[in-house]
Chains A and B, each alone.
Chain A
């Protein structure tokens, strides 16, 4: 057993923290207020190689593995959940699908520019009636010579409003359904028939694009089928697993920031003649929170290590996402409570972090879906197949 980070990962974290504090933290309030995707920051992240943090060097990546990717998400989550979300959608599910299932040509053509941040990616799975129930997809793809014609649409697509490349799930054989009838396609967003229909007005992560997409007779060349025809669903589930783990890491960063704010305020603010730090209610909040954060940290990096060691991790990734998002929400709720009125105003970052944190319990499969994933894995070990 060895619970220490490698010197490379330590150096990576130092580099990312410096970037996060000098480049990301100062713009976090502004991009929230103005609903602005931080394109400059994303561009710089690409230039220093961080948008390919976990991809092999031969495809323009940094080769720092899933652990490196979790470090990136933790450090970004610590200062700005919007930025972490943009990056997570790009790397963790958008580009990741191509990394996992792309052909050599597809990786050369798409993964390399994505890893360098020259292009941005998104992941197109959710539809109005198929969110957590991914098997209920209605977008159709019909073969026509060397192409596929896509018709339908997607909703709540993170990065959807500005991504250059979107991996899209469509039904190629309605008779077969999710297992065998759904195929993944690499779609370039400047192709005719691709349209961004609207941007959502969200409570938090307002520095991200959450778009509704429409496909009208969108022609996709057959060479852009990702993986095998009919096996898109299985492939996408793997990408989602990778993404889920790193959401736990982002939640960890957010929770850590909330703890630091809380401790600093509690040692400063006086009520009834003494610092809040001397009040036992506050001490309990801090102690409980710190314990949860340590448990989360251990879980996240253990699972990252399992991914890098090629061990199965689906169930644990669901736990990371679920627990990470709930610790994240509880942490910022505690920070808000300790700050009282100051925590409730938009003049301090806590208010933004409170709104931002709440999405993590919902997106990328609601926490209810994560519980179903966890339970079905556990019951499967006992030979029982459960229905959701």
Chain B
């Protein structure tokens, strides 16, 4: 056992912190209030290699391990969860799906432009009546010679409004299939953007597929094996989202702790009050527990084995900690926590998304329970 980050990982972390402090933190409030996708930040992140963080150097990637990548997501989320979610969508959901299941030709075609930030990736799985349920997917993929015709509606497509490449899931003749669909493909229309409570600079759009034709060569993986791709992607994303939860929760504790040393009530800084000490201490304990779950899960990803169960565990706990910590740290700030010119309200709105995006907490409870009960040979259906 070794719980230390390697020298290299420590070096990356300090580089991520410098980047985030310089490029992300100063703009976080503005891009939230104006609901502006962080295109400038993405451009700068691309020049650092972050958009191809975990891709091999052959594809212009930075060849980071998943632990270092989790450090990147945590660090970005510390300053702005929107930026972290946009980047994680691009890397964990889209680029890594291609890396893991793409043909050599697909990798050569799509990974370098994704890594260079020439195109941003978006993940189109959710539908109005199907989020977490593969069987309920309504979008259709109909083969027609060398092409496949896509028909359907996708909602809550993260990065939809800024994407150059959509990873689209639809029902084919043999089950769910995944397709790489460039943004300029005729028949693909980016529609309504959700006005969200938090994550306000992430464009979540509806996309319409109407007679949208792509070459069969754009299918990712074997026919009918798309659902496995979606699940693997969501497992990777679960770890990244938990890392984002870690970042936002850690930042909230820092803001609240500093406030508590400065805010005087009843003649003393409120840090001297036991209630405030309990809030901050409990929050810190939860953040530390989450930290070990996150980096353990990220380390498992790097081991190349199965990590689905651990991803469900960490997704659950990450959402819970991020929500409850930002909520209590907001309380430490009192009225200041409720004002939009302090960062806490934004962190609270952002963190609330973690109970929903990438699958609701309740679904991850089912997944954890499935595994536990399977040891008694009992099969759980959601």
- Interface, chain A (partner B; CB < 8 A): 126, 129, 131-133, 136, 155-156, 200-204, 270-273, 279, 281-282, 336-337, 340-341, 343-347, 351, 354-355, 358-359, 361-363, 366-368, 371, 387-388
Contacts and interface: CB of A to CB of B under 8 A. Distances in A.
A336 B352 CA distance: 9
B294 to A, nearest CB: 22
A344 B356 contact: yes
Given A340-B356, A345-B195, A347-B194, A281 B365 contact: yes
Contacts of B131: 271, 340-341
B275 interface: yes
Contact of A156 (B129, B335, B360): B335
Given A133-B266, A366-B331, A203 B155 contact: no
Interface in B326-352: 330-331, 334-335, 337-341, 345, 348-349, 352
A274 to B, nearest CB: 10
Most B Cβ at <10 Å: residue of A201, A272, A347: A272
Given A132-B265, A201-B339, A362-B335, 4 more contacts: A341-B155, A345-B196, A347-B195, A359-B338
Contacts of B352: 336, 344, 354
Interface of B: 126, 129, 131-133, 135-136, 155-156, 194-198, 204, 264-266, 273, 275-276, 330-331, 334-335, 337-341, 345, 348-349, 352-353, 355-357, 360-362, 365, 381-382
Given A270-B129, A366-B331, A341 B265 contact: no
Contact of B197 (A133, A282, A345): A345
Contacts of B276: 368
Given A133-B266, A271-B131, A347-B195, A355 B349 contact: yes
B241 to A, nearest CB: 14
Contact of A337 (B204, B264, B335, B355): B355
A31 to B, nearest CB: 16
Nearest to A359: B338
Contacts of A204: 338
A345 B194 contact: yes
Nearest to A155: B335
A345 B195 CA distance: 5
24 contacts: A129-B264, A131-B265, A131-B334, A133-B266, A136-B266, A203-B349, A272-B133, A273-B135, A336-B352, A336-B356, A340-B360, A341-B357, A344-B194, A344-B196, A344-B198, A345-B197, A346-B195, A347-B194, A354-B352, A355-B197, A355-B349, A358-B348, A361-B331, A362-B334
